[in-house]
A and B are shown apart, each in its own frame.
Chain A
Amino acid sequence: MNHLKELESISVHILREAYENFKDLGMLWSIGKDSTVMLWLARKAFFGHVPFPLVHVDTAYKIPEMIEYRDEFTKKWHLNMIVGQNKEALEKKLTFPDGNVDRTTCCRHLKTQGLKDTLNGTGERVRFNHEAGQYEPDQNRTPFTAVVVGVRADEEGSRSKERYFSPRDTESEWDVGAQPPEFWNQYKTDFAPGTHLRIHPLLDWTELNIWEYIKQESIPTVSLYYDQGEGKRYRSLGCYPCTTPVESKSTNVDEIIEELKSGKFTNIAERAGREQDKEDGGLETLRREGYM
């Protein structure tokens, strides 16, 4: 068994445990390479099907290609696609691009709060109607009790300490000092009313593993990851005001793998282009409050 099969098997096992143990389960799909690999792993786990909704929190500052890509594969793969948004913050212009708040606060509004409201059903959700071919308001406001999230341990310090099954309290807050034990393929699947779970099937994957798997499985990815002739490409996707492309001439998956293995990115962290990580407290503070 090669290392990709080993990683795939662990992730598939986790996804099946999540599906068997939680009725109101959803999977966050940010359209980036990691959560797309995760979605692919769900299709592996359930033999071509995805038996739970995909959830996308749209900050309204995503790069347009990302939204096109999302809708294309929603149709192609018959996904149960739910999209949520923090409309209030956008209307009141409480965002960094509007110049009214700093980057961290913007993330807090558009991502953390947007995610919380979408998951607990208090925020407006739209769902893709495959017959009509468009998004329609979702009448179902059932809260999700568990969400699958594609974070990797090699991305950042606080993510390196995550559990596969990680409980959050009613306010989505993460108590990093008191995480449940997790061993021998046994996870925290029993929980008191009011708590919910984050499930992380990709913790053991590295950025390189993700690309190796994309190559092995021929998983379609957004064109933004590849140089279109300007000598630039995105290494990590987020909102355009806070994510900058890197200098790179890689135009395909093979070239990206080479670049990560022995090229210029061997020793440069993937999130180096994410500005919100650099502000005080950075990702750990955001994540304690409920950020992915």
Chain B
Amino acid sequence: MKEKMNIVIVGHVDHGKSTIIGRLLADTGSLPEGKLESVKENCARNSKPFEYAFLLDALKEEQSQGITIDAARVFFQTEKRNYIILDAPGHIEFLRNMITGAAKAEAALLVIDAHEGVQENSRRHGYMLSMLGINQIVVLINKMDLVKYDQKVYDNLVQEYGEFLKSINVEPQAYVPVSGMQGDNIYNKMDNMPWYTGANVLEVLDNFSKKKPLDNQPFRMPVQGVYKFTGMGDNRRIVAGTVDSGTVTVGDELIFYPSGKKSRVKSIEAFNEDAGNSASAGMATGFTLEEQVYISRGEIAAKISESIPKVTTRALVSLFWLGSKPMVKNKDYILKIGTSRTTVVVEEIKAVIDASTLESGAKENIERHDVAEVILKMKKPAAFDLVEEIAATGRFVIVDNYEISGGGIIRESLPDKQTWARDIVIQRNFEWEKSRITCTQRAEKYNQKAALLLITGPENPNKKVLAKAVEEKLFSDGKFVYYLGFESLLFGLDADVQDTENARREHLRRLGETAHILLDSGLILVITVDQFNADDLALISTMVNPDFIETIWYGNDPTEDHPFDIHITSEEKIENSVYRIKETIQRRGIIYSPW
């Protein structure tokens, strides 16, 4: 069977991309029967000259305006391959459509009008191709008929555009002088340019080489979902996803990031085929695990025996912005890497670049169609790779107001305040001695989910009164619950901590580790700490799964430093406060709620 390849054709508006593809289809006899005649007939009826572009610009609006609005998929085959050619629009207004088309491609044809020369989007599209990771590029110098097939014009353009590409580290495979309108060097050689002896467009396509499968890279699979469909007597619990790189085989020991949890692959699963023993890059697959660990959508599966992804809350990235509103600092956006979603803010804009002039400047905002180098700060740690190591998990998009508004590549992983503690946690999870009782079994036995109720606020003795009342209420309800005061640790477990500037963070780390052990046993743990700030919470959330933490602010003037789940004023009656806390954990499904 023939192999399949996606190609994109890009370049400035009106430089003749659709005409070249239309011509290619017509000259190679690839159009459906009657298509050429019907388009010609339609043109005659509407008294407009026939253009090959009409074969592709199918939308009414496209034909009336004479431009391509959205990328069309054109199916085309040669002796060697089946191609999908993505005809991308060249108008700046439709840059998002150009990116949509180009991102699917393995190679690109970039078109420059010989008569008009290198234009704004000739350069911008070249730049975008390099950001999208497309490194097979052939430049077509089109409309040679309009410059009387003059070699000098061609040579000058090759020189001018070649210098631009060189400055962004792109090296094209070839330059081809063509005329889409007249058909030179598309499929037919013709006699107009005896000075050119290279390949025609059709040959150029077949000369592109098929991207090598990424089987040899480290294994990465973003988890799309964990499925357990109980219908028809099915008891399998399957971790499903598409392998981005590498290979996974039955028996492999896996770690999931950012959680750091590990397990071993028990079986590869598939429907209506022999699933075999392994799955490799590009395959949508699923597997079961030897030991059941609690993982969910958004984690990245990697192998213990290979290099691991980065886990942090800060990264240096290059991004392009497509949003109608500019990207600004300190505003919440959604960051999507693989299948994960995290709230993110721009911590710093290091440079904003105009991709059509390569001029770079210091700007406060990133406007639509700008390219920028920024530091992103995530609300929760994310797992990713650097783009030059593993491309698929080194890319992201940014969502603003429901729309994908930007995309980019990760250049560097940067440390944050919790890096030291996260390294310890990943190592701890890795070495953790798992019991044969799972957290689900414990939850069923105790009729509750493990949780950390963290009561904080300004100094006030009533905080402890409340904590103990909550413990008492849950205890008398038959729950498995324990109150732990911060001081109880300070003089025992923490007795060796020296009074240095790092003392507080070490105290909190030990509190977090203690909480982690108690939660692992299935307990509801109530803790009081004075004046918790955002850094403290981030640290505890590093040690304990943040989904299991309920934060309660007790007292007035709640901090705006970090969000909390419940606010209780110091005027509120204790019984009432206890009731509100109980009601919240019922609603969260931590303890059973009758109707």
The answer to the question of B236 belonging to the interface, with a C-beta cut-off of 8 Å to chain A, is yes
Q: Report B399-444 residues with CB < 8 Å from chain A CB.
A: 399, 402-404, 407
Give CA–CA (A154, B270) in the complex, Å.
Answer: 29
Give CA–CA (A1, B3) in the complex, Å.
Answer: 10
**Among candidates B32, B286, B322, residue contacting A267 with C-beta atoms closer than 8 Å:** B32
Residue with the greatest number of chain B CB neighbours at <10 A, chosen from A6, A10, A183, A206: A183
Q: Which residues of B contact A75 (CB under 8 A)?
A: none
**Among candidates B1, B29, B99, B270, residue contacting A47 with C-beta atoms closer than 8 Å:** B270
The reply to whether A181 and B96 form a contact with Cβ atoms under 8 Å apart is yes
**Among candidates B4, B75, B132, residue contacting A6 with C-beta atoms closer than 8 Å:** B4
The answer to the question of B297 belonging to the interface, with a C-beta cut-off of 8 Å to chain A, is yes
B353 to chain A, nearest CB (A): 19
A120 to chain B, nearest CB (A): 20
Give CA–CA (A217, B242) in the complex, Å.
Answer: 20
Q: Which residues of A contact B104 (CB under 8 A)?
A: 183
Quick one: closest B residue to A187, CB to CB?
A: B404
Known: A20-B297, A184-B397, A188-B403. A157 touches B59 (CB 8 A): yes
* A 168-183 to B, binary, CB cutoff 8 A, 1 in contact else 0: 0000000011011111
Q: Report A44-87 residues with CB < 8 Å from chain B CB.
A: 44-49, 51, 78
Known: A181-B404, A184-B103. A5 touches B283 (CB 8 A): yes
The answer to the question of A19 belonging to the interface, with a C-beta cut-off of 8 Å to chain B, is yes
The answer to the question of B463 belonging to the interface, with a C-beta cut-off of 8 Å to chain A, is no
Total contacting residues, chain A, CB less than 8 A? 57
The reply to whether A182 and B82 form a contact with Cβ atoms under 8 Å apart is no
Give CA–CA (A188, B399) in the complex, Å.
Answer: 9
The answer to the question of A3 belonging to the interface, with a C-beta cut-off of 8 Å to chain B, is yes
Known: A182-B100, A188-B404, A217-B272. A45 touches B72 (CB 8 A): no
Q: Which residues of B contact A182 (CB under 8 A)?
A: 100, 103, 404
Interface size, B (range):
35 or more
Known: A9-B282, A9-B283, A181-B99. A269 touches B60 (CB 8 A): no
Give CA–CA (A40, B270) in the complex, Å.
Answer: 12
The reply to whether B402 and A192 form a contact with Cβ atoms under 8 Å apart is yes
The answer to the question of B595 belonging to the interface, with a C-beta cut-off of 8 Å to chain A, is no
* B 269-287 to A, binary, CB cutoff 8 A, 1 in contact else 0: 1111100000010111010
Quick one: closest A residue to B286, CB to CB?
A: A47
Known: A16-B240, A186-B336. A46 touches B227 (CB 8 A): yes
The reply to whether A49 and B234 form a contact with Cβ atoms under 8 Å apart is yes
The reply to whether B61 and A177 form a contact with Cβ atoms under 8 Å apart is yes
Q: Which residues of B contact A13 (CB under 8 A)?
A: 224, 242, 284
Q: Which residues of B contact A268 (CB under 8 A)?
A: 32-33
The answer to the question of B174 belonging to the interface, with a C-beta cut-off of 8 Å to chain A, is no
Q: Which residues of A contact B270 (CB under 8 A)?
A: 44, 47
The reply to whether B282 and A204 form a contact with Cβ atoms under 8 Å apart is no
Give CA–CA (A83, B227) in the complex, Å.
Answer: 27
The answer to the question of A119 belonging to the interface, with a C-beta cut-off of 8 Å to chain B, is no
* A 261-273 to B, binary, CB cutoff 8 A, 1 in contact else 0: 0000001110010
Q: Which residues of B contact A176 (CB under 8 A)?
A: 59, 61, 69-70
Quick one: closest A residue to B236, CB to CB?
A: A47
Give CA–CA (A45, B272) in the complex, Å.
Answer: 11
Q: Which residues of B contact A233 (CB under 8 A)?
A: none
Quick one: closest B residue to A183, CB to CB?
A: B103
The answer to the question of B74 belonging to the interface, with a C-beta cut-off of 8 Å to chain A, is yes
Residue with the greatest number of chain B CB neighbours at <10 A, chosen from A9, A49, A186, A204: A186
The answer to the question of A34 belonging to the interface, with a C-beta cut-off of 8 Å to chain B, is no
A-B contact pairs, 7 of them (CB 8 A): A5-B282, A46-B229, A47-B229, A47-B240, A51-B229, A161-B58, A181-B322
Spell out A's residues near B (CB within 8 Å): 1-3, 5-10, 12-13, 16-17, 19-20, 40, 43-49, 51, 78, 153-154, 156-158, 160-161, 163, 176-177, 179-186, 188, 190-192, 203-204, 206, 217, 267-269, 272, 281, 284
Given A12-B284, A179-B97, A206-B82, 6 additional A-B pairs, CB 8 A:
A13-B224, A47-B240, A48-B232, A181-B322, A186-B407, A190-B402
Spell out B's residues near A (CB within 8 Å): 1-4, 29, 31-33, 35, 58-61, 69-75, 82, 84, 96-97, 99-100, 102-104, 132, 213, 224-225, 227, 229, 231-232, 234, 236, 238, 240-242, 269-273, 280, 282-284, 286, 297, 322, 334, 336, 338-339, 392, 395, 397, 399, 402-404, 407
In the complex, the 3 A-B pairs of residues with the closest C-beta atoms, listed nearest first: A157-B58, A183-B103, A12-B284
